[in-house]
Amino acid sequence: MKELSKQYDPQKTEDDIYKMWEDSGFFNPDVCIEKGITDADAETFSIVLPPPNVTGTLHIGHAAMLAIEDTIVRFNRMQGKRTLWIPGTDHAAIATQSKVEKILKEEENKTRYDLGRKEFLKRVDVFAQDSHDTIVNQSKKMGSSLDWSREAFTLDEKRSHAVRTAFKKMYDDNLIYQGARIVNWDPIGKTTVSDDEVIYKEEVAKFYYLQYGPFVIGTSRPETKFGDKYVVMHPDDDRYKEYKHEQEIELEWINGKITATVIKDEAIDMDFGSGVMTITPWHDNTDFDIATRHNLDYEQIIDFDGTLLEIAGEFAGQPITDARQNIIDKLDEKGLLVKLEDDYVHNIATAERTGGTIEPQIKKQWWIDVNKEFEQNGKKTTLKILMQSAVRDNLIDIIPEQFEKTYFHWIDNLRDWCISRQIWYGHQIPVWYCQNADENEKCTQPIVSTDDIISCPHCDGEVKQDPDTLDTWFSSGLWTFSTLGWPEQTDDFLTYHSTNLLETGYDILFFWVARMILMTRYILDGEVPFKTVYLHGLVRDEKGRKMSKSIGNVINPMDVNKKYGTDAVRLSLMIGSTPGNDAKMSEKKIESYRNFSNKLWNIGRYITTQDIKETSDVSINSPADAWIMSRLSQTISSVTQHIENYRLSQAGEELRDFTWTTFADWYVEIHKIEKNDTVLIHVYKTLLKLWHPFIPFVTETIWQEMFDEDQILMVTKYPAPQETSMKEDVLNTFETVKEIITHIRNIRATYTVPANSEINITIITQDVKNITTQENLIKKLARVGKITIQTEDTPQTESASAIFTDGKLYVHLSGIIDIEKEKKRLEDDIAQTEKYIKSIQGRLNSEQFTKKAPENIVQQERDNLIQAETKVTESSQHLENLTN
RNA sequence: GCACGCUUAGCUCAGUUGGUUAGAGCACCUCGUUUACACCGAGGGGGUCGUGAGUUCGAGUCUCUCAGCGUGUACCA
């Protein structure tokens, strides 16, 4: 066995280790089968990487995602499953485009219009490629065992084909339609955004009460009021009984006299303001609905660039912010301003990406109809129903469960999905319009096609493609199967779909997860994209704030990887955080896991300095051996179960506990006396395998440097629990001896005042056979040279001894005990135990308990009682001995 | 407003279907520093599990109330 170097230096080895894995080809399940690592007919485990946006670099949240997924993937691969983890990146249409636009503005003071569509897209491609390369490199640094040979991009050729195929299928089924409706218009990005891309921010604004003929209306947006010629009130509102539905009223308004029409509608809240409002159907959803119900006129007031249109008369061309005050000034002059409140708190809608204030507008867009009935597998259904039933019928489990409720709540309020965007970067909508539509009736229909259309199929005339692009989530929605080659029925697609798991942040449950379910169930005839959704939380700073550049609290994963090692970072992101909950991250936490990697390394170092021969045999010679083997077996089965149920934190914690406090602190110490090399090596090798999914670098490094194995650790078989043949009472003996040792050490460490008294510690054991071994052990571990243990054959020394009689082990200590402190400890201990005894007795005396509680619980309590009583008796005996 | 969470040791959090005297890491205190490891070892203190009630033989765990915090979502002119 080769000796390990003094310290583990992750920076020196990580890149080489990753390269070795990559060169081995084992990230690719086909290679695993070819090389006999995996059986061809093995169960599959497939998962897609949520493709990071090509907008720059990875952040700590990505690092967490990669760590969690890699751990699960490595675990499954080692379990012998045919395991596939597909990498990729997302073109992230609007996010990427606005990033490039920003750079363009800063560096060249140009807009995308200055460059033109073609040239601009070239720039975006260069930027995206650059980001992509960074992201791939960073993913490798994290140790991700992704199958790079299958890498995909949401905007590459294959995915484009999938997108067009999906679009055409939906269009042909009338699930995609074109319609003029209210959209969320972002005047900065000059595009529509979906409901989910709108962020509401609280704002304090002015609220105006205006005289509108005989009514007083309230508004916070006077600039929209020009076109208001309908005044609406609740049909049951007695205050306005005298006014009839569709009654016309002449009144003085901003730019002179107008004729207003009274409308009665139940959407009006009688208690809000004056209970009367005027409506602006072009720029408000509720108003639009009212107008649609009563078949009223619409008129656009605000232009798409955020300035007022001709209808505003003298205010035309002014931006909203200026116009608002000017209009109020004029209304005030005319005596129409009744009252002004300046502490009106409301939410304003802003665009997620650009920060622009959303202006609702009516615009012709492409929509996906979520409520339209269609037939699937002989049953009538809708997209909404497909989304609901996937989770309701347990085709998909969401972890943690509470998000299932959130999911249903979202679907209940779901409206049609606006999928067209007025931006350039993305999948251009696969629809062409014939330029001769006016002349030829046949040519008025849009042409939807999966291939580019060069000329009109009816008249051979010129065609133009719809200039809009698709919402980025349209292509992401196809991700689980577009990455596997769909619409072609490839081997990959047939083998690996549905995928087993989707692991992603809860913040994109609606954006992405829900859309994937919608798309997959529709396109693949009810099939689900994945069987389990695991939602992780956000990674926050140590104070619980979001990490942001402006606060300066960003932890860059690459920096800390370099400083503490990738494994430490991975562990700190996985242990101590549970699905769905945000995790706080700090360098201190990473540091503590760096210490752990070092511990694992040093156990190996101890082994390599011991002149041990490598062997695969395991011989159990002592209770200590049996004990560690049995504890190992317990740990394996528990850890395996935890990982299978995606409780990674729990699994990691138990492994750490076993490694540190059981194996390193006890068994390795014991080995210094007993020298059973076979068990030591077996446990250590097993631990390396158990740890490998979590901390692949340090484990593989140790494996490579220490041992002379044929197989790399990454593809070794995951350990299975093993029954030990040792009897339970032998194991108990060891636990007992362990307790004695702890107790002796405790006394020595805690009590320092010299006294010439003796103390007896009585421990009950059932097995005396291995006492000689334990004698040395206690001696060594107590690290008190003077202590010896006396059995029937060994003589007593002058300062300390232990004696076995009547199945009891008496340990005598002398010379180092503070009697007063020891007395107090015993007294406290007795008092506490007596209290405990009382509570058990109370329970056992109650008939309800003995009758209704299960038998094993009752028996357990009886045992507890006996144990506690024994403890009191013995402690009292010690106390008496001390007092005399 | 509606929905969903969270509240357990000084801090960060575990606690699977209700069942021994509620756990870990960090921090703190004491002692130790020994050829695997000071990126160390041994030990200790510290919690009426947010409040109040209920169900139960038994509640950190289930139900309800209230309070504080957070997230999502809707919105009113």
Q: Is the CB of A673 under 7 A from strand B?
A: no
**Confidence band, pLDDT 50/70/90 cuts, at residue A667:** confident
A347 nearest nt, CA–C1'? B75
For residue A762, pLDDT over 50 is answered with: no
A603 CA vs B37 C1’ separation (Å): 8
For residue A767, pLDDT over 60 is answered with: no
For residues A600-614, give the mean pLDDT: 88
Which H or E run includes A805? strand A801-805
Counting Cα atoms < 13 Å in the Cβ hemisphere of A177 gives 11
For residue A747, pLDDT over 60 is answered with: no
Per-residue pLDDT at A772: 40
Q: Is the CB of A405 under 7 A from strand B?
A: yes
How far is CA A761 from each of CA A166, A645, A736, A754, A803, rounded to the nearest angstrom?
78, 44, 12, 18, 10
A198 CA vs B74 C1’ separation (Å): 13
Which tokens hold the place of A617?
A: 């045999």
DSSP state of A461: -
Of A420, A408, A390, A339, nearest to A520 (Cα)?
Answer: A390
For residue A782, pLDDT over 60 is answered with: no
A510 nearest nt, CA–C1'? B72
Q: Is the CB of A268 under 7 A from strand B?
A: yes
Q: Is the CB of A812 under 7 A from strand B?
A: no
Q: Where do we find the tokens 């067209």? A: A420
In degrees and rounded to multiples of 5, residue A520 shows phi and psi of -65, -45
Q: Is the CB of A783 under 7 A from strand B?
A: yes
Q: Is the CB of A661 under 7 A from strand B?
A: yes
Per-residue pLDDT at A167: 97
Per-residue pLDDT at A160: 97
Q: Is the CB of A408 under 7 A from strand B?
A: no
A575 CA vs B11 C1’ separation (Å): 17
A271 CA vs B75 C1’ separation (Å): 14
Cα separation of A456 and A450, whole Å?
15
For residues A868-875, give the mean pLDDT: 81
Per-residue pLDDT at A732: 60
Residue nearest to nucleotide B77 (CA to C1'): A277
Which H or E run includes A57? none
A276 nearest nt, CA–C1'? B77
Cα separation of A184 and A284, whole Å?
10
A832 CA vs B36 C1’ separation (Å): 40
Contact A225, A324 (CB under 8 A): no
Please spell the DSSP secondary structure of A625-641, one letter per residue: HHHHHHHHHHHHHHHHH
> Partners of A90 in the beta sheet?
A53
How far is CA A756 from each of CA A109, A601, A762, A814, A882, rounded to the nearest angstrom?
89, 44, 20, 7, 11
Least confident of A121-125, A305-309, A766-770, A818-822: A766-770
Per-residue pLDDT at A147: 98
Q: Would you tell me how many other CB atoms lie within 10 Å of the CB of residue A755?
A: 16
How far is CA A98 from each of CA A188, A201, A422, A462, A808, rounded to the nearest angstrom?
10, 21, 12, 32, 79
Residue nearest to nucleotide B24 (CA to C1'): A653
Counting Cα atoms < 13 Å in the Cβ hemisphere of A103 gives 13
Alpha carbon of residue A297 to chain centroid: 48
Cα separation of A252 and A526, whole Å?
59
Higher pLDDT, A582 or A882: A582
Contacts by A136-139, CB closer than 8 A, 24 or more apart? A136/A87, A138/A57, A138/A58, A138/A62, A138/A557, A138/A558, A139/A58, A139/A66, A139/A87
Measured N-to-C along each axis, helices A696-706 and A677-691 cross at an angle, to the nearest 10 degrees, of 140
Q: Is the CB of A831 under 7 A from strand B?
A: no
Query: Best-predicted range by mean pLDDT among A319-333, A611-625, A738-752?
Result: A319-333
Q: Is the CB of A823 under 7 A from strand B?
A: no
For residue A24, pLDDT over 70 is answered with: yes
**pTM for this structure?**
0.89
Chain B nucleotides near the protein (CB, 7 A): 3-6, 12-15, 19-21, 24-26, 30-32, 34-37, 39-44, 56-58, 72-77
Residue nearest to nucleotide B2 (CA to C1'): A409
**Confidence band, pLDDT 50/70/90 cuts, at residue A575:** confident
**How many residues are listed for chain A in this entry?**
884
**Confidence band, pLDDT 50/70/90 cuts, at residue A729:** low
Least confident of A10-24, A553-567, A686-700: A553-567
Q: Is the CB of A746 under 7 A from strand B?
A: yes
A595 nearest nt, CA–C1'? B39
Per-residue pLDDT at A688: 96
Omega before A498 cis (within 30°)?
yes
For residue A771, pLDDT over 50 is answered with: no
For residue A844, pLDDT over 90 is answered with: no
A509 nearest nt, CA–C1'? B72
A535 CA vs B26 C1’ separation (Å): 27
Q: Is the CB of A742 under 7 A from strand B?
A: yes
Of A832, A842, A826, A814, nearest to A875 (Cα)?
Answer: A826
Cα separation of A734 and A682, whole Å?
20
3-state secondary structure of A231: strand
**Confidence band, pLDDT 50/70/90 cuts, at residue A748:** very low
Contact A352, A200 (CB under 8 A): no
A584 CA vs B11 C1’ separation (Å): 12
Q: Is the CB of A581 under 7 A from strand B?
A: yes
A858 nearest nt, CA–C1'? B19
Per-residue pLDDT at A668: 87
Least confident of A660-664, A741-745, A774-778: A774-778
| Three-class secondary structure assignment of A92-143 | CHHHHHHHHHHHHHHHHCCCHHHHCHHHHHHHHHHHHHHHHHHHHHHHHHCC
| Residues whose CB falls within 8 Å of the CB of residue A815, separated by 6 or more in sequence, listed in order | A754, A755, A756, A786, A799, A800
Q: Which of residues 494-523 of A touch strand B (CB under 7 A)?
A: 507, 510
Residue nearest to nucleotide B41 (CA to C1'): A665
Of A750, A745, A871, A762, nearest to A819 (Cα)?
Answer: A750
3-state secondary structure of A545: coil
Q: What single letter denotes the amino acid at residue A756?
A: N
Per-residue pLDDT at A803: 46
3-state secondary structure of A645: coil
Q: Which of residues 516-575 of A touch strand B (CB under 7 A)?
A: 542, 544
The angle formed by the CA atoms of residues A72, A690 and A703, to the nearest 5 degrees, is 110
Higher pLDDT, A826 or A663: A663
Q: Is the CB of A217 under 7 A from strand B?
A: yes
Q: Is the CB of A846 under 7 A from strand B?
A: yes
3-state secondary structure of A605: helix
Of A418, A400, A434, nearest to A536 (Cα)?
Answer: A400
Q: Is the CB of A74 under 7 A from strand B?
A: no
Higher pLDDT, A822 or A475: A475
Per-residue pLDDT at A743: 57
| Residues whose CB falls within 8 Å of the CB of residue A87, separated by 6 or more in sequence, listed in order | A49, A51, A136, A139, A144, A146, A147, A148, A150, A151, A152
- Mean pLDDT estimate for chain A: 84
The CA-based diameter of chain A, rounded to the nearest angstrom, is 119
Q: Would you tell me how many other CB atoms lie within 10 Å of the CB of residue A276?
A: 23
Q: Which of residues 640-659 of A touch strand B (CB under 7 A)?
A: 647, 649-650, 653, 657
Contact A209, A273 (CB under 8 A): yes
Cα separation of A780 and A123, whole Å?
71
Contact A225, A320 (CB under 8 A): no
Which tens digits make up the pLDDT trace of A336-347?
888 888 877 788
A198 nearest nt, CA–C1'? B73
Of A97, A88, A84, A94, nearest to A44 (Cα)?
Answer: A84
Q: What single letter denotes the amino acid at residue A632?
A: L
Q: Is the CB of A220 under 7 A from strand B?
A: yes
Contact A733, A623 (CB under 8 A): yes
Per-residue pLDDT at A519: 96
**CA torsion angle for A195, A198, A201, A203 (degrees, to 10)?**
-80
Cα separation of A205 and A730, whole Å?
77
